[in-house]
Amino acid sequence: MVDFSSALSAYKAAANRVVEKSTDTDMNATAGSGFGNVLKSTLDQSIEAARQSEAVSLKAIAGQADMQDVVLAISNAETALGTMVAVRDKVISAYQEIMRMQI
C-alpha cells in the first residue's frame, strides 16, 4: 500500500530545495554588470541542469539513484530549457520589432 504522507513530505522537501536554489541563482545572475551576463548565466545554468539530469538518469539506470532524484533533475532541466526558449523568443521578437521601425 502507498504511504501518501511520506510521498507528500518528500515532494515538499524536493520543492523547497528547488525554490531555494532558484532564488539564490536569480540573485547572483542579476548582480552581473549587464544583460549579456544575465543571458550567459542563464544559459550556463540551463546547460548544467541538462548535464545533471543526464548524470542522475545514468545513475538510476545503474541502480545508484532514486526515482525522485531523477524526476527532480529532469524537471529542473525542463524548466531551465523552457526559460531559455522563452527568452530566445522575446529577443527575436524584439529584434523583429526594431527591424520594422522606420528611421
**Tell me: the pLDDT tens digits for 74-95?**
999 999 999 889 988 998 999 9
* pTM, rounded to two decimals: 0.58
Mean pLDDT, range 34-47, rounded to an integer: 86
Mean pLDDT, range 58-64, rounded to an integer: 88
The better pLDDT of the pair 16, 55 is held by 55
Task: Report how far residue 94's alpha carbon sits from residue 26's, in angstroms, rounded to the nearest whole number.
Answer: 23
Confidence category of residue 29, pLDDT binned at 50, 70, 90 = very low
The number of CA neighbours under 13 Å toward the Cβ of 86 is 8
Residue 71 has pLDDT above 50, yes or no: yes
Give me the residue spans of the domains in the chain. 4-100
Residue 39 has pLDDT above 90, yes or no: no
Nearest to 27 by CA among 9, 12, 41: 41
